[in-house]
Structures are given as structure tokens and as C-alpha cells.
Amino acid sequence: MTIERRKGNRELFVDGLTGELALTVDSNPIPVHLVYDVSPFGIGMLVEGQVAMGGKVSMEFRHDDQVIVVNGLVVWSVPDVTGLKTRLGIYLDADGAASNIAFFQSQNV
């Protein structure tokens, strides 16, 4: 039996984050254009360039004096129509649950 996580709390960000986000995939820095979906288990975002599924993700979020680091895996990747940007689905590591929840709550103000 699996737990349906997509029905849990989620946030959509039209105007972007309330801080600075640094994203790396397989140790390569990737510019983030938009974070559009955040839950304690994953993040959806639009990034610059092409990013393949399966990449190891590290994100550092800074807001005021708070620094949160979350890690995960690219579980889906869809290039936009121009081929210049990619929509990503990132599954956050369960081992970092406290950081995942802190990131989610920092955007849920």
C-alpha cells in the first residue's frame, strides 16, 4: 500500500520565493526561474537549460538569517516549447524531513 502524498498541503508561487534559492543538479549550478509548487515531499520548478531525470539535487534557501538546505532527486523533467527552460519535479530526500518541512513552512507565510 502506498500513501498518496499529492493531496497533502501544497503551495503555488506565482510571484516567486521570499528569499534566495541556489540550485545544483549533479554539482552543476542551475538558474531557477520559478518555483511553482512546494510540499514537504517535493518541489516543482522551472529552470534554465536542460536537466535530465535522475540528477542529484541540492538546494540552499536563504531568507534573512535563515539558511535551509534540502536534497533530492529529479523525478521528472519536461523541456518547455522553446527548449531553453525545463520544468522539473524534485522528490526531496526523506532523511532530510526536518529541512524539507522548514523549507515548506518558510514559504507558507
Domains of the chain: 20-106 (2.40.10.220)
Alpha-carbon dihedral sign for residues 38, 57, 77, 92: negative
Residue type, 65: D
Residue type, 73: L
Percent of the chain topping pLDDT 90: 38
Is residue 81 predicted with pLDDT exceeding 70?
A: yes
Q: What are phi and psi of 107, to 5 degrees?
A: -95, -5
pLDDT (0 to 100) of residue 105: 66
Per mean pLDDT, which of 7-11, 34-38, 59-63 is the most reliable?
Answer: 59-63
How far lies 81's CA from each of 50, 84, 107, in Å? 12, 8, 29
From CA 78, how far away is CA 20, in angstroms rounded? 24
Is residue 51 predicted with pLDDT exceeding 80?
A: yes
Asked whether the whole model's pTM tops 0.85, one would answer: no
